[in-house]
Amino acid sequence: MADHHPESLVILNRPSAHAPAHEPNAPAFRLVDPGTPVLSALDQGATRGDGVFETISVGHGSPQSLEHHLQRFARSAAALELPAPDVDAYRAAIAAAIGALPDAPEAWAKAVLTRGVEGGESPTGWVYATHSGDLSAVRREGVRVVLLDRGLRHDVEQTSPWLLAGAKTLSYAINRAAQREAHRRGADDVIFVSSDGVLLEGPTSTVVYRLDGRIWTPGTGLGILDGTTQTALFDFFAAEGVETGYRLATPDELERADAVWLVSSVRHVAPVREIDGRPVPIDEELTVRMNDFLERLEA
């Protein structure tokens, strides 16, 4: 990515107000060369995936749904019992990372908090930012998806909170493995289904679909992420006078849906054109309007 897009990196001196600073009396954060090694080999984010992150879409220098992202960041940290992130410090660091980039229609920033070096007292925090690639083709042509069993019941968030379902952690090996399985099956992406047959989410996206003239997304309390992009799109549909809702759904609802989308912070709205080899209609006009809305969205 560094070969093609400008990038910036901000290191936080005190990512949490509940833990000591790395350097007493030093500035709250510093811009560093993204190519300079800054992470200890003993950092538990690297050795154990013990940390959380948020990826924030940026349009012409404006971080989109920033407060929602920061709230979710704090909830994920609480689920891991990490020191609470200093959201004011992260807000400033995100602004600094974005401000260090040349202006562009689309960019993204990734905020990270880890438990820090093994045996240490201070968590590690940074923000990385770069321009987005050209996503016009996937937004226009859509994606082919496969349904994969996540191997957990739909109520895992209540029955087994230690599994951290619904937290945005750095432990992404399973999500990556699922996407590789999709590619082996000739698809582009995945929609997870619970072991007891409930529709969930994608590895890096929220599922949104239209059925009976209404817009739906899988219900809350399912151990899935609180989608920032989906929340913004529900505001879009409310302004359009279209009813939206959360639904405990099974995959057969997608068979009856007349449009399905995967939505996420960087890719925005990608229409689903095929599920397990079955063609799905694409509403091109509505997809364009949804993406236009997200591109104009302010923080």
Q: What is the pLDDT of residues 21-30, one digit of tens each?
A: 999 999 999 9
Q: Which two structure tokens, joined as six digits, stand for 42? A: 């003993």
| Domain residue limits, the chain | 7-133, 137-296
For residues 7 and 130, what is the distance between their CA atoms, to the nearest angstrom?
4
Cα 297 from chain centre: 16
- 252, with CB counted inside 10 A (0-12, 13-18, 19+), is exposed
pLDDT-derived band at 4 (thresholds 50, 70, 90) equals low
State the architecture of 7-133 in CATH terms: 2-Layer Sandwich (3.30)
Instruction: Order the strands of the 107-114 sheet from edge to edge.
Output: 29-32, 7-12, 124-131, 107-114, 51-59, 62-63
| Rounded mean pLDDT, 215-223 | 93
Q: Which fold has domain 137-296?
A: D-amino Acid Aminotransferase; Chain A, domain 2 (3.20.10)
What pTM was estimated for this model as a whole? 0.94
| Rounded mean pLDDT, 257-267 | 97
pLDDT for 298 equals 60
Same fold, 7-133 and 137-296: no
Average pLDDT, the chain: 95
pLDDT for 38 equals 94
